[in-house]
Amino acid sequence: MVKTNDRGVTMKRKTAKEILAESFRELAGTVPIDKITIKDIVYNCDYSPATFYRHFKDKYDLIAYDYVQRTSEIIVKFGTEGYEWKQIVTDCMRFFDENRKYMKNLLLHTSGMDSFVR
């Protein structure tokens, strides 16, 4: 949500979805994905399970949302004039390099679930 105060200063507040995703990423920094529960996610950000389920059907739905949101800057550039394939590859590689530990955890510890793969 973006708001402008009475002095014309634009402020962006994080949505519940963004806060839940941050909580998940924080936990995924130290815990295998398959060991993280909804209870862990909501406890970490002081939300209730009801808030989680209002936005996501499960943690894999949250993973997919988070991935799309975080890669959207790259995705929206596809087909843009002047944005060459080499830059797309470079941007993708930079994203995966910067998020290497998190992505490795996702790929190694989501067996049996296809939500992330989709």
Q: What domain range includes position 17? A: 2-108
**Other CB atoms within 10 A of residue 34 CB:** 14
Does residue 82 form part of some domain?
Answer: yes
Question: What is the pLDDT at residue 10?
Answer: 72
Q: In this model, does residue 116 exceed pLDDT 60? A: no
Question: What is the pLDDT at residue 2?
Answer: 57
Output the domain CATH number for residue 102: 1.10.357.10
Q: pLDDT tens digit string along 7-36?
A: 777 777 899 999 999 999 999 999 999 999
pLDDT band at 58 (very low <50, low <70, confident <90, very high): very high
pTM of the model: 0.77
How many domains, the chain? 1
DSSP string covering 61-109, please?
Answer: HHHHHHHHHHHHHHHTTTT-TT--HHHHHHHHHHHHHHTHHHHHHHHHS
Does residue 117 form part of some domain?
Answer: no
Q: How far apart are CA 3 and CA 39, in angstroms?
A: 31
**Overall average pLDDT of the 60-79 stretch:** 86
Does residue 80 form part of some domain?
Answer: yes
pLDDT band at 83 (very low <50, low <70, confident <90, very high): confident
Does residue 116 form part of some domain?
Answer: no
Q: What percent of the chain has pLDDT over 90?
A: 46
Does residue 118 form part of some domain?
Answer: no
